[in-house]
Every structure is written in C-alpha cells, then in structure tokens.
Chains A and B, each alone.
Chain A
Amino acid sequence: MKSALLFLSTLLLATLQAPPTPNASLSGRLKGSSGAVSAPGPVSGSVAIGTLGYRDGRRVFQSNGSAQADALGNYSFASVGPGEYYIRAESLPTRGIPTYYPGTADIDSATKISVGPGQEIVGIDFDASSPPTFKISGTVRGIPASTATTGLTNAILGMAFASTDSRSPDPSAGPLLQTTRGGANGEFEVSLPAGEWDLFPVIPIRQAGAPTPGAAGGGAVGMPIYATGRARVRLVDRNVENVVITVGSADIKGRIVIPGSPQGEFVPPVPIRVTLLPDGNYPSPLVSHLRTPQSVGTAGEFVFAAVPPGRYVFQILPIPSDHYLADMRVGSKSIYDDGVITVATEPVDPVEVVLRRGGGGVRVTVRGQDSAAAVGGSLRRIVVMPVEVRRENALLYRTVFPGSFPFVVSALAPGRYEVFAFQELPPGGAEQNAEFMAKHEDFGVPIDVGEGQTVDVQVPWIPAGK
C-alpha cells in the first residue's frame, strides 16, 4: 500500500512538474509543376495549417495559423503544437481555390502531416499549379434599379463561387471573381477550373452602416447587403455560355408563438434571438446580415430583409429550457419535419414558430458507469437526435453535457429519436453532420418519446477519437 501511494505521489509530482511541450516548426515551398498551365517555379500565396472541424453541422477547415510564402515560394510556421495537421495553400494560380498538401483540392485525398514535440518539419512542398480554366458567360437578370445609388459604374461587383460538393470544407472558397465582360445589360464572364460550381453575382444594395430597408428589430443594422442569385454550372472540358442568373430576394417575416401567453403578448421566459442560416454553400458575405442574431419584438415578431434565393434554417437562441419546438409553418404549410424555408424570387408567406412548454423526456444511463466516472472531459455529450423525416431539423436536436448519471434530458418534442453518448464530441455541431453520425450509427439507441413521458435508456459510450 505504501509503495502504491509513493508511486501515486511520484506520478502526481511528475505531472505537476512536467515541462511544457516544446512546439515544433514546419516549413516548405509552394511551386508550380512542369505539367501545369503556369510555368514551373516558385509560386506566391498564403499557407494555412489546421485541422478539420465543424460549424453549424458542416465540415470546415479550421486554421491554426497562416503564413505568407516569400518570393521564392518558401513558407514556414515557427510555432506548431504537436498533432496531425492538414496544410492548405491559396495562391493566385489556383484562383484562390484551396489546395491541400501535397497538391489536391479534395481534402479526402490530402495527406496529413504528423508533427512531434519540438520537431523541425522541413520540405513540405506543395504543387500550387494553375489548373486549366474554362469560361462561364451569360447574363444576370433582375438587377435592382436601386443599385444606381451606390455610384458603381457596373452594378455587378463580381462573382462569388462555391463548390457544390457538400463534403468540401471550404464552402465559400476563393476571392471574388472579376467579370471580364461588364455590360450594363448584366452580361458577365468569369473563368474557373473544372468542377461543379455555384455562381453568385454580388450586387451591393446597401453599404455597411446604413439602416436595413424595411427591417424591424435590431441586429442587422451595419452589415452590408448584397443582391444575388444562383446558377449551378458544371465545367468538364469546355466553356459554358448563355448562363442566366436571376437576381431576387424576399423578406422573411414571422413570429414566435408561445401558447399560454396572454393574448396579444409574447412572454418568453428568457430573451430570444433568431438567426437565419443558409442550408448549403452560400458565400458568407452574401448572407452575413442574416447570420447576425436579432432580438424578437414584443409580440414575438422578427423580419429578415433581403434574403437571397436559397434554402435556410432558423436558429433560435435559446429555446427556453422547459420548452420544445412544437410546430413551424410558412403560411399554412408545415415545415416542421426538416425546418427548411425555401426562398425564391416570390414573396414568402409569414412564418410561425410555435414553442410549447412540456414535451417528453429521456433518462439516460451509460453502460459501464464505473468507467464513466473517469470520462470527465469537457467535450462529453449526450446527443438526442431526431430520426427519419425529422433528421434534418436542427431545432429538434438536443445536445447536452451530462453532469452525472442517470441524466435526464427533458422538454423533447414528442417523436422518435436515437440517443448517443459521446466521450468526446467535436464542437461545432458535428452531431448534425450526416457523414459524421453515419460512423457512429451502431452506437445509437432508438427511443419513442410521448407527451408527458420520460423514457429510460441505457447507451454505450462512444470512445474518444472514434
């Protein structure tokens, strides 16, 4: 016993006195290759080192640092913590489209670099060659007349673009493309490499700092607003002409309803704010005015002005703790299953989001409770995931940190769920990423929750790093 104690105290001392892990360095060179359109040799650009993470349920590249390549194409990171990293380059020859080491636009084909404590990693050389590009030309229709007030000679500031690949970790890749044909009739011409792209004309309709036209509530004032549209173009081996992009937008007006509040009054137990998130690959500058949380009005009302065409989901910050999402309607149509509101060029019917007190609950225990006590990481989470047709509705998910077991998750909307226990869940909404959850499907335990019921469930821990 004495020796065990001694061992423990020695271990503790060693932990306390452990020197900080020395950081490593990493360096390499950006270069064109002889087989590319651009001449072989050094390439200037910026390089980022990072990992894959999640944001709003979407897989994204999370940069831990960036460096500018010098005139010889050399880049370096002087202080890198131990770990496994992706290295990403953005250079002019690639139109700013990210290239991952050793020279691929597809992160799933990229090679991670393992960095040890204090190591000097050298020779991490990139192919940042200029791929063949093809022209996309056509016409933008429906440019708002009011853009004349911005003083721009050409109302189209440029073209934003995004890969249609939902697995791409760079949803709004690349800088604004300048159109080489800028006729007043909305003609455009840009060049991109082979691939399937969504094109978005960028047309300023409000400068930063100006009041939002027709907006109620706060929050959106100050963000620039752009009119836009969307066209999907698949480039294989030739130019694509006569692409027509119709610009449009709609205001989304709606309100949050809490049954039981005095008639005509909206009495939430906590202040509620709402945002509108694009369900897809919208370049973020075009929708930043929607991402800014706005407080709902005294009757629960909210307005999102100038919402460009696309699919959107609401984020409600927060849903009061003892309430659940009971219904979502656009006009008379229910969007409760997927929570998606679709905007085209026509006006959108009023949106009604119903929050109701009560619901059902689940009492969770994990298998191997003794070992669970040792699993004290701050990233452990219980995820209650809606299934089947409601799988896409992010407002029906419940992700909570379990203090101790059994742990009760209450205020669940009645319906079918699967329960997961993650020892370490990546932050940023990984549980809403279908690809991520598919890897853990076998760990989920299905439950049916009814109004006023609390269901007991025992779930296995999903080990960290799995």
Chain B
Amino acid sequence: MILLLGLSALLFVQIPLAPSQTGTATGVIRSMSGAPASGVRVAAQALTDSTAGIGEGALVSLTQTDSEGRYKLENIPPGRYYIQAGLVDLPTYYPGVTTTNGARSIQIAAGAVLERMDFTLALAPGVRVSGRVPLGAVRPAMVRMTGGSRPAQMNMAMVQVAPDGSFEFLRVPPGNYTLIATPTNSLPNLPLVVADKDIDVGVPTGPGVKVSGTVGLGPQSPRPANQKVVFTGSTAWTQVEASVSSDGRFELPSVPAGTYALRTVPGSLTSQGSVVVGDRDVTGLIIPAFVELTGVVVLQDGLKLPAFSPALMIQATPAKGTTLATAIRDGVFRFPVVEGEYRVSMGNLPDGIALQSIFFGSTDLLSTPLKLDGSGELKEIRVTMEQK
C-alpha cells in the first residue's frame, strides 16, 4: 500500500546459506529520548569489501526491535557490514551516526555472534500518521501525502480510505508534508509537520470539556434513525462526533477548546451552525434539524410541466446565509434544507411561463416566510405556474 515499503523490499538480497556458515549480531536500539525503541527496523548493510559476493549497500538481514528495543540479526553471510536502524532512507548507523562516514563497520565471520551492538537513534524512526475523513463530507477514495525533507522521499505516498473513512501512513520520516484528498474537491489540502510523535489528524488535541444539546428546534423536528452530530474543528479534517438519541439529545464527553462547525449526518453539506468551546462545559446547545422538504409544480390548466434546460429552480433564501436552490424534475422536487426561516421564490423563469402561487400547506409563501421550527407537521410545497 505504501510505495516506500515496496521500494525497501526490493533492496533485500536472499542469501541461502546454512546457519553454521553465517553470523549473528544482537543489541539494543534506543530512541532519541534514551528509552528502548520498539518496532524499529534494523538491518545489516554490506560494504564493498564484503567477501560474500554481495553488492555494496545490499541489506542482507532484517529484523524489528522487540518491546525492549532488542534486536537479533541472523543468517548474515561472512563479510563486512554496517548495522543500520530506522527508516530505509534516513537510517542511523552503529554506533549512532547518520552517515556511513562516521559509521563503524563490523566483520561477520562464519558462526560468529556479535553481541551488545547497542546504539541510539540519531533520527526519528518515522511515525504513524492516521486520521479519519469527516463524516458526511465528500468521501475521498485515496489520501496522498507529499513533501518531506527530501524531495524524492515521500512524494507519492498514497493510501486508500477504508470504508469507515480511516486512513493510515506508517513510518513517515520527519518533515513538512501536505495531505491531499483524491478527488481533490473533497477536502482542502492539509499542511502537516511530522516530528517524532504519531499524528492523528482526525482528532482535535488538548484537554476537553463536555458538550451536550439537542438536534431540532421543536418537538416535531425530524430525527432520523442512526443520526450523528459532527463537530468539525479548525481544519476540515478534524472532527468529533456523537450519536443522537431518538428524542434528539446528544453528548460529547470531551471536546477540546476551539471553534467548531456543526452538522448532522445525514444532513447538510454545509454547516448547520457553529459553536465556540472554551474551558467550561457547554450544555443546551440546539442544532437545527435537517428537513427533507418535497414539492410539486403544476400548471394551472393541468398540463404537464415541460422540461427546461437550464432546469427550472426553486430558491429558499434564509434571513442570513447562503441561498439554497433545487431543480424541478418532472414536476416534482426534493428540497433538503436546515430548519430556519426562508423566503421561497422561483429562479429565472423561461419565456411563456409565469409563477402564480407557492403554498406550504395553507401558508402562502409569496407573502409569508417559510418557517421550519419543528412546531408542526411537514407539508408539501405546492407551486402553481401559468402559461402566459
């Protein structure tokens, strides 16, 4: 899945020799903080004067450190080697240097066991960068990571997004990167600084407070099953979420300080509101519900509405915010909006067609705003047109 891993696998050489004809090296790898470094790749790298007929730079043995930082490189053909640990492209060489100039080589003889080849990593062994694309956002198929401290180092690492929206890059060297979602219109690019700690780009960091509230402005607000409320943080990649109960309540036990855009899933593509979280619990937060309005358009004389291109559109303009619009198709339309107050109107009408009325139940929407506040049953929007 990760191109770097594929590349490193190509560098390895299989040498089929009996154990008595090969040597072993063991030791302990410590991280830059001095603690035992677990899960770090360790390898023996051949020198030019190797007697085993192995090309210079070939990695002839590979292992990983255990939970106490210990490693054991076995089946090393006789010859001269560097011991290296960490990333393939940014290794630390025994006794703890970043280039072969300062590295100390070791001679492996048949049957020899070299112990206590301990050293401390001079470079971070790479970290895990993981995340989860926001629920309800356009779901990217892939996530790319570009950049790094060397141009060729990580310029094309790409992982698939799992069905639950999660993704993961392993052993990412320190450096400056950009996360790019594909298709690229699904999420904005995210700059990322990788140091020596794993990064979870999907979770806001810092101590959190409890945030609770209700979805819907009134008792009859729509509350679909399996609804979630999503708080999106300072970047579109960062989110916390909670399930919404059948009576519309939700609670997030720990939300770090920050400004969050609020959405429900299923729900609107754009924000249904925002909240600023500080150092105190937030209670009684009310998020307007997502309402699936439907409607029908008829001609006064009962004739079928002809197809128009561009499509005939109905608009709903809130007191504050973005104008919503939907297309009429075969005389019907679906108009998903967020609870609120809207002025409903027609978009541009083609020649020969005039608007006669727009009703929501018995409410004349040409003279009265559409109020969606959960206080009553949802009704169909009925638009009547006439031919001029």
Task: Tell me the A residues contacting B by CB distance below 8 Å.
Answer: 25, 27, 29, 65-68, 70, 72, 74-79, 84, 101-102, 109-114, 116, 118-125
Q: Is the CB of B323 within 8 A of A68?
A: no
- CB < 8 Å: which of A72, A109, A110, A120 contacts B269? A120
Q: Are A116 and B327 in contact (CB under 8 A)?
A: no
* A102→B325 contact, CB < 8 A: no
Are A84 and B334 in contact (CB-based, < 8 A)?
A: no
A114 partner residues in chain B, CB cutoff 8 A: 310-311, 313, 347-348
Q: Which 7 A-B pairs give the minimum distances between C-beta atoms? A: A123-B326, A123-B334, A114-B310, A112-B310, A102-B329, A111-B311, A65-B185
B141 contacts the other chain (Cβ, under 8 Å)?
yes
Query: Smallest CB–CB gap between A122 and chain B, Å?
Result: 5
**Centre residue among B268, B269, B270, B336 by max chain A CB count within 10 A:** B269
Given contacts A68-B139, A78-B186, A114-B348, is CB(A119)–CB(B322) below 8 Å?
yes
Q: Which residues of A contact B137 (CB under 8 A)?
A: 78
CB of A111 within 8 A of CB of B323, answer no
A111-B329 contact given A25-B269, A79-B185, CB 8 Å threshold: yes
- Whether A124 and B327, one on each chain, are in contact in the complex, defined by CB atoms closer than 8 angstroms, is yes
Contact A77 B324 (CB under 8 A): no
User: Does B138 make an interface contact (CB < 8 A)?
Assistant: yes
> Considering the chains assembled together, what is the distance between the CA atoms of A368 and B43 in angstroms?
78
Among A70, A84, A111, A122, contact of B325 (Cβ-Cβ < 8 Å)? A122
Q: Can you identify 27 A-B contacts, CB atoms within 8 angstroms?
A: A25-B270, A29-B334, A67-B183, A68-B138, A78-B137, A78-B138, A109-B307, A111-B311, A112-B311, A113-B310, A114-B310, A114-B347, A116-B325, A118-B323, A119-B323, A119-B324, A120-B268, A120-B269, A120-B322, A121-B326, A121-B327, A122-B324, A122-B325, A122-B335, A123-B326, A123-B327, A123-B333
Residue of chain B at shortest CB distance from A79: B185
Separation in Å of the A303 CB from the closest CB of chain B?
A: 35
Give chain B nearest CB distance to A269 CB in angstroms.
39
Q: How far is the CA of A122 from the CA of B295 in the complex (A)?
A: 13
> A357 to chain B: closest CB distance in Å?
47
CB-CB under 8 A for A123 and B336, given A68-B141, A102-B329: yes
- B22-57 residues at the A interface, CB under 8 angstroms: none
Which one of B141, B307, B310, B335 lies within 8 Å of A123 (CB-CB)?
A: B335
B315: nearest residue on chain A (CB-CB)?
A119
User: Contacts A67-B185, A68-B139, A78-B185: A119 and B325 contacting too (C-beta < 8 A)?
Assistant: yes
Say yes or no: A116 contacts B141, CB within 8 Å.
no
CB neighbours (8 Å) of A68 from chain B are 138-139, 141, 183
Task: Tell me how far the C-beta of B320 lies from the nearest C-beta in chain A, rounded to whole angstroms.
Answer: 13
Residues of B within 8 A of A101 (CB): 311, 327
CA distance A27 to B269 in the complex (A): 8
Chain A positions within 8 Å of B326 at CB level: 121-124
Measured between beta carbons, the chain A residues less than 8 angstroms from B268 are: 120
B35 to chain A minimum Cβ distance, whole angstroms, is 43
Q: Which residue of B lies closest to A85 (CB)?
A: B310
A260–chain B nearest beta-carbon distance, Å? 49
Let me know if A67 and B270 touch, CB within 8 A.
Answer: no
Measured in the bound complex, the distance between the Cα atoms of B311 and A125 in whole Å is 13
Q: Which residues of A contact B327 (CB under 8 A)?
A: 101-102, 111, 113, 121, 123-124
B336 near A113 (CB under 8 angstroms)? Answer: no
Contacts of A102 in B (CB 8 A): 327, 329-330
CB atoms of B269 and A84 under 8 A apart: no
Bound complex: CA A68 to CA B329 (Å):
22
Closest chain A residue to B187, Cβ basis: A78
Bound complex: CA A70 to CA B140 (Å): 10
Known: A27-B269, A67-B185, A122-B326. A77 touches B138 (CB 8 A): yes
Interface magnitude class on chain B: 20 to 34
How far does the Cβ of A465 sit from chain B's closest Cβ, in whole Å?
Answer: 14
Give the docked Cα–Cα distance between A357 and B300 (Å): 69
Cα–Cα, bound, A181→B337 (Å): 50
Complex interface: chain A residues within 8 A of B101 (CB): none
| A121 touches which of B183, B266, B325 (Cβ 8 Å) | B325
Task: Give Cα distance in the complex from A125 to B329, angstroms.
Answer: 9
User: What B residues does A25 contact at CB under 8 A?
Assistant: 269-270
Tell me how far the C-beta of A47 lies from the nearest C-beta in chain B, rounded to whole angstroms: 10
Which of A70, A77, A119, A123: most chain B Cβ within 10 A?
A123
Interchain CA distance A74-B138 in the complex, whole Å: 9
Of all chain B residues, which has the CB nearest A104? Answer: B307
Chain B residues near A72 (CB, 8 Å)? Answer: 266
- State how many angstroms separate the Cβ of A117 from the closest Cβ of chain B: 9
B323 touches A113 (CB 8 A): no
Known: A113-B310, A122-B324. 10 other contacts (CB 8 A): A68-B141, A77-B185, A101-B327, A111-B308, A111-B327, A112-B309, A114-B310, A120-B268, A121-B327, A123-B327
- Given the interface pairs A111-B327, A116-B323, A121-B325, the reply to whether A65 lies near B183 with Cβ below 8 Å is yes
Q: How far is the CA of A438 from the CA of B231 in the complex (A)?
A: 55
Q: What chain B residues lie within 8 Å of A125 (beta carbons)?
A: 329, 334
Interface of chain B residues 330 through 358 with chain A (CB within 8 A): 330, 333-337, 347-348
Residue in A66, A109, A114 with the greatest tally of chain B CB atoms within 10 Å: A114
Choose among B186, B323, B337 the residue that contacts A67 (Cβ–Cβ < 8 A). Answer: B186
CA distance A102 to B337 in the complex (A): 21
Alpha-carbon distance between A77 and B183 when the two chains are bound, in angstroms: 10
Nearest A residue to B295, CB-CB: A123
Are B185 and A120 neighbours in the complex by a CB distance under 8 Å?
no
Which residues from 137 to 193 on chain B have a C-beta closer than 8 Å to any C-beta of chain A?
A: 137-139, 141, 183, 185-186
**Cβ A70 vs Cβ B310 within 8 A:** no
Q: For A112, give the chain B residue with the smallest CB separation.
A: B310
C-alpha gap A116/B337 in the complex (Å): 17
CA distance A110 to B348 in the complex (A): 18
A29 to B307, CA, bound (A): 20
Q: Which residues of A contact B335 (CB under 8 A)?
A: 122-123
Query: Is the CB–CB distance between B324 and A120 below 8 Å?
Result: yes
B115-154 CB mask vs A (1 if < 8 Å, else 0) is 0000000000000000000000111010000000000000
Q: Hey, which chain A residues are within 8 Å of B324, CB to CB?
A: 119-122
Q: Which partner residue on chain B sits nearest A121 by CB separation? A: B325
Closest to B293 in A: A123
Distance A434 CA – B198 CA, assembled complex (angstroms): 60
B138 to chain A: which residues have CB within 8 Å?
Answer: 67-68, 75-78
- Residue of B with least CB distance to A115: B325
- Across the interface, which residues of A come within 8 angstroms of B309, CB to CB? 110-112
For residue A84, which residues in chain B have a CB less than 8 angstroms away from its CB?
A: 310
Q: Across the two chains, which residue of chain B brings its CB closest to A86?
A: B309
Per-residue CB proximity of B86-126 to A under 8 Å, as 1/0?
Answer: 00000000000000000000000000000000000000000
| CB-based nearest B residue for A66 | B183
**Chain A residues with Cβ under 8 A from B323's Cβ?**
116, 118-120
Distance between A315 CB and nearest chain B CB, rounded to angstroms? 31
